[in-house]
Amino acid sequence: MKKIGGSLFILLAVLCIFGCNKKENNNKTNSDTMENVQVSDYGVTAKGDSIKKYTLTNKNGMKVEIINYGGIITSLMAPDKNGKYQDVVLGFTKPEDYFNGNPYYFGALIGRYGNRIANAKFTLEGKTYDIDKNDGPNSLHGGKEGFHTKIWTAEPVKDAKLPTLKLTYVSADGEEGYPGKLTTTVHYTLTDDNALEISYEAETDKATVVNLTQHSYFNLSGNFSNLITDHELQINADKFLPVNSTLIPVGEEKSVKGTPFDFTAAKAIGKDITAQDEQLKLGGGYDHNWILNGNGMRTIATVYHPASGRVMEVMTDQPGVQFYSGNFLDGKFDTKTGGKYEKRSGFCLETQHYPDSPNQPAFPTTELKPGQKYQTKTMYKFSVKK
């Protein structure tokens, strides 16, 4: 009896060792994928859709939170000169505020067409398309029900070396007035050198126009009651696009030299923002597209916040960037750190093709034809200067 008991004990112990090992291995695999992209419940839309939040964490402990509603970045924690991580992107405190229209496009993926299209129409291959008119006479950011309002299919990329989230959205032919069924894939990757990389891809089954971008507002101070006017900005652009009263480029490519739009050398955003200037008056501040110098993937802008030491570099392969100084933020919504989002409590650097390109043949084309692949990349890289 004793002998049988002893053997049984040994057998159980051996089984347990195998079992436990197996469990440990499973746990390891789980935690490997779980470690760098964690999934949690975020909220439920008015229509009853459950929205998830995906937290990307890199080896330094930097975290970015993204939801599959609008592909919105809801939080991005970046270290300051003392290694203190703070959230540097504007966002709502309540999920409903994203789901009920997101009036400022906080953190969202923008499509099909980032920025404005004049008179909400364009002609392509001899056919005129009327698209959603949601900004005075114009169409802004893909229309009222643009990609920022869509539920994207989200999946953490399991075999990726770095934390990566893949988002896919299929836009039906005719959605918001645009031709062609457009399949869009966006990958968000957080690199080991604290860069958030955003890769966009799209394919269509009919000729269409595409101009995708990301609409995060940044405030590198980590306190959203601080205005961004003390942030020092440098943009690698010798020219910008002056606009008319509805913020449509007039077609001229103007030199920044001698104007408040000269950011070729770093200067505080607030330095010239109140200067007597027709273009600043029209935008209520900066709300213009800069024509970026050079081609291909390159550093196009650098922002430095002296008090925190935080630095953000922007790299892109796109021809333009919309620098928007948060002029329309109007104190209606609570910030994540107390107080309200006021005018100039955040800025955007939206990498993109020029506004209204479908109506301005002199601008680089935004047309996409069947068989072609739209492919672009932008990175926001965070570091410190002491």
Residue stretches of the annotated binding site: 115-116, 215-217, 287
Which of these, 19, 80, 123, lies nearest to 384 by C-alpha position?
80
Q: Which of 245, 281, 238 is nearest to 261 (CA)?
A: 238
CA distance 258 to 117: 29
Pairwise CA distance, residues 353 & 345, whole Å: 25
Which of 215, 288, 305, 353 is labelled catalytic? 215
Contacts with ligand BGC, 328-347, as mask; x by CB under 6 A: x-------------------
Which of 86, 214, 322, 376: binder of ligand BGC (CB under 6 A)?
A: 322
According to the binding rule CB under 6 A, does residue 105 interact with ligand BGC?
A: yes
- Residue 350: active-site member: yes
Among 148, 77, 136, 104, which Cα is nearest to 344's? 104
Q: Decide: is 147 part of the binding site for ligand BGC (CB under 6 A).
A: no
Please name which of 330, 327, 318, 385 lies closest in space to residue 357, comparing C-alpha atoms: 318
Distance CA(241)–CA(322), nearest Å, equals: 10
CB closer to ligand BGC, 189 vs 211? 211
CB of 290 to ligand BGC, least distance (A): 12
Which of 287, 357, 366, 379 contacts ligand BGC by CB under 6 A?
A: 287
Shortest distance, position 249 Cβ to ligand BGC, whole Å: 12
104 part of the interface to ligand BGC, by CB under 6 A? yes
CB nearer to ligand BGC: pick between 212 and 348: 348
Query: Site residues for ligand BGC, window 183-222 (CB under 6 A)?
Result: none
* 222, 350, 376, 381: residue in contact with ligand BGC (rule CB under 6 A): 350
Catalytic (active site) residue 215: yes
CA-nearest of 321, 375, 314, 312 to 351 is 321
Minimum Å gap between C-beta 106 and ligand BGC is: 8
Under rule CB under 6 A, residue 80 binds ligand BGC: no
Considering only the stretches 231-239, 253-261, 321-329, 377-385, report the one whose residues sit in contact with ligand BGC under the rule CB under 6 A: 321-329
Distances (CA, A) of 126 to 114, 116, 129, 268: 23, 21, 10, 46
Q: What is the DSSP letter of 172?
A: P
> What is the phi-psi region of residue 125: left when phi exceeds 0, alpha when psi lies from -120 to 50, beta otherwise?
left
Binding of ligand BGC by 132 (CB under 6 A): no
For 66, the 3-state DSSP assignment is strand
For the segment 229-268, give every residue that binds ligand BGC (CB under 6 A): 247
Q: Is the dihedral of CA 97, 233, 115, 137 positive or negative?
A: positive
* Residues in contact with ligand BGC by the rule CB under 6 A: 104-105, 247, 287, 322, 324, 328, 348, 350
Active-site residues, by number, are: 215, 350
